[in-house]
Amino acid sequence: VSAESTLIENLRRLATHPAARGLRDDAAVLEVGGATLVLTHDMLVEGVHFLPDDPPQDVAWKLLAVNLSDLAAKGARPLGVLLGFPLGEEAWDRDFAEGFGTALAAFDIPLLGGDTVMGPRVLGLTAIGEARGPVPARSGARPADRLWVSGAIGDGGAGLRVARGDLAAAPALLERYRTPRPRLELGEALAPLVSAMMDVSDGLLIDAKRMAAASAAAVEIALDAVPLSGAFVAALGDGQEARLQAAAAGDDYELLFAAAPDRTQELLALADRLGIALTPIGAIAPGAGLTLTDAGAPLPLPPRLGWEHG
Amino acid sequence: VSAESTLIENLRRLATHPAARGLRDDAAVLEVGGATLVLTHDMLVEGVHFLPDDPPQDVAWKLLAVNLSDLAAKGARPLGVLLGFPLGEEAWDRDFAEGFGTALAAFDIPLLGGDTVMGPRVLGLTAIGEARGPVPARSGARPADRLWVSGAIGDGGAGLRVARGDLAAAPALLERYRTPRPRLELGEALAPLVSAMMDVSDGLLIDAKRMAAASAAAVEIALDAVPLSGAFVAALGDGQEARLQAAAAGDDYELLFAAAPDRTQELLALADRLGIALTPIGAIAPGAGLTLTDAGAPLPLPPRLGWEHG
C-alpha cells in the first residue's frame, strides 16, 4: 500500500537510534543500566485484525500473544505490559477484561499500566521484556546457514477460515487461530544458537522474504519440508496447493530462524527437551530474495506471500 | 462514566504488581537490573482529544507531550517512545510524521518502534524513561505539606476555546493548547524535593482531588493563589469565575506537587534557576477530599472539576 509505505519511510527517517533497529525488526532493543530491554507495541483493530463477533476473551488473548511472540523472537523474557483500551459496550469490555486476566495469568505477566479512552476499538499493547543473553536480529542470516521453523505452519490461517465458516469445524485449528501460544521458552533457548530469528506472524513466505531482505541474502524454502499439523492435513490435505496456502497464511506465531549447520545437533536436542518440533525447511544463500522448491523442482512464488500490513 | 469505572476496576484487579502502582499514578515504575524505568502509555482519539481539523503536526506534538508530561511528573528522563499509528489519508499522515519528527527533535527523544495499522484515528504512544533518583508518587502527600504548582494554570483550556472559535484569537493561549511543553527538566529537579507529584492534565481541581485520594489526606486550594498568565488575564480577567474556569480546565501539563514547608527556600531557588514560576497554592491537611477558598473564605466546589476520562 503506497500511503503505508510513505508513512513508514517517513517514520524510519526518525528512527535513527540503534535501539530502533531501523524499524525493521520485531522489537526495539535498548540497553539501560546493565540490562537489555526488548520493547514492542502491536495493535489489533476491529474489522481488520479481528471480527466484531469474535469472543472478546479471545481478542484479549490474541492482543497479548502477538506482542509476546515478538519478545519470544528476540529471546526476551516478558517483564510486563501496558494496555491501550478504548471503552465500548460494557459487556464486551467486561469479557475482554476477563480474557485479558486469563491470558496474563497463563503467561504470568504483570499488567503495569496503560490508558483507557472513549473511541473506536483500536486496541494497543506494549510489552517490555528483558534479554539475558544475545538478542538475535532479523538481519543476521548468513549464506550456508540452514533455515528452520518451529511447530507447524498453516494452522492459524486454516483456523481463520474455520472462524469465517469457510472450512468445516475443526476445534484444534480454531484454537490455534484464536489463542495462539507464543514460543517464549523456546525463543529464550534458541537465542544463543541462531544467527537470525523472527516470528511468523504475517505468513511464512512473506516473513522469510523479510529476513532475506534484512540479511542481504537469498532464502530458499523447500515447500515439501514445511511442517503441517495433523489437524491441518485432515482438513486440507498436504498437496502443493494446501502447502502454498499454509505458507502464505498468517497468525502462526511460530519462530523462523537461521542457524549455522554445526548447530543442528543442539537444535534437535532442544526440540526433544521442550517437546516442540524444530524443522529445517531451507537454506540461506548468497544473493537476494526468496525462492521456493517442491520435491526438488523450482516453484514460482504465489502472487500473495502473506499479510502486507507493514 | 459507569462502564469506564467497571472496566478500570476490572483492570486494577489484574494490576497487582507493585510496578503498576495500582494504576493510580501517572506511570508505572519498574526496577530492571540496576535501573529504575518509568513507563507510560497515553492515547489521543480523533473527535475526543483532538478535532478533525486540528493541524496534524500539532496532534503529533501533543501525543508526545502528554506522554512526556507523565515522565516529567515522575522525575524521569525520556529514553525513547513507541508509536501506534492507524494509517488514514496520505496528506494527514505525512503532516503527522513531519510534526512528530519536529517534536522528537525538540525534546531529543528517539523513536524506538511501534506499529502501523489500517483503522480509525486512535493514536497511541508509549514513553520509556529512566529515573536516576527517587520517583515521587501521587500518594505521598502528608499533612502540613504545602501544595505547589508550576507555571500558569488555565492557558490550555483557554487555548482550546480559542481553537474552537469561542474566544477571540490569542496566539499565546492557542500555542499553549496545541504545543504544550512538558516540564521534563523541572520534574527531574523537583523529584528529590517533593513528597508527592503528578502532572496537571485533566484540570487542577480534579487532579488535586486525585492526589488527595491517593494520599489519604485532605487538599485545600486557595483559588486566589492559583497562578494565571498575562495572556489568560488579558482574555478572561482574573475574577473568581475566570479562576474557577482555569482551575477546572485541562491541558496545562504543569506539575502539581506537595512538599514539606522546610523545602520552600530550595524550591524558590530552583524556580529562579530554571526561570519557571513555582507557586504555593494550598496545603495538605488531615482528612479527605478537596476544599477551596477564595480570599480566605470557603468556596463551594464547582460541579465540574475537570476531565473525567479515567
Query: Residue B248 is placed in which grid cell?
Result: 477546572
* Ranges of chain A with pLDDT below 50: 1, 310
Q: What is residue A177's predicted lDDT score, i.e. its pLDDT?
A: 93
B102 in reach of chain A (CB within 8 A): no
CA distances from B108 to A33, A268, B104, B187 (A): 20, 46, 6, 16
DSSP summary character for residue B109: -
B50 in reach of chain A (CB within 8 A): no
- Asked if B219 and B102 touch (Cβ cutoff 8 Å), the reply is no
Q: Which helix (H) or strand (E) covers residue B56, if one does?
A: helix B56-73
The pTM (predicted TM-score) of the whole model is 0.94
User: Which of B33, B120, B309 has the CB atom closest to A34's CB atom?
Assistant: B33
Choose among B30, B1, B72: nearest CA to B257.
B72
CA of A234 vs chain B CAs: smallest distance (Å): 34
Q: What is residue A1's predicted lDDT score, i.e. its pLDDT?
A: 46
B5 in reach of chain A (CB within 8 A): no
Distance CA A157, CA A224 (A): 18
- Scanning A77-96 for CB atoms below 8 A from B yields 79-80, 82-87, 89-90, 93-94
B172 in reach of chain A (CB within 8 A): no
Tell me the pLDDT tens digit for each residue of B264-292. 999 999 999 999 999 999 999 999 999 99
Query: Residue A258 is placed in which grid cell?
Result: 537461521
Q: What is residue A51's predicted lDDT score, i.e. its pLDDT?
A: 85
Query: Residue B237 is placed in which grid cell?
Result: 480577567
- Is A49–B117 a contact, with Cβ atoms under 8 angstroms apart? yes
- Is A82–B40 a contact, with Cβ atoms under 8 angstroms apart? yes
- Is A112–B13 a contact, with Cβ atoms under 8 angstroms apart? no
Q: What is residue A307's predicted lDDT score, i.e. its pLDDT?
A: 84
Q: What is residue B3's predicted lDDT score, i.e. its pLDDT?
A: 60
A48 in reach of chain B (CB within 8 A): yes
Report the Cα A302 to chain-centroid distance in Å.
Answer: 20
* Ranges of chain B with pLDDT below 70: 1-4, 309-310
Q: What is residue A2's predicted lDDT score, i.e. its pLDDT?
A: 57
- Is A82–B126 a contact, with Cβ atoms under 8 angstroms apart? yes
A14 in reach of chain B (CB within 8 A): yes
Distance CA B62, CA B67 (A): 8
- Is B43–A104 a contact, with Cβ atoms under 8 angstroms apart? no
CA of A235 vs chain B CAs: smallest distance (Å): 31
Q: What is residue B1's predicted lDDT score, i.e. its pLDDT?
A: 46
Helices (H), chain A: 2-14, 56-73, 90-107, 155-163, 171-178, 184-190, 204-215, 230-236, 240-248, 264-274
For residue A3, list chain B residues with Cβ-Cβ distance below 8 A: 87, 89-90, 93
For residue A308, list chain B residues with Cβ-Cβ distance below 8 A: none
Distance CA B163, CA B169 (A): 8
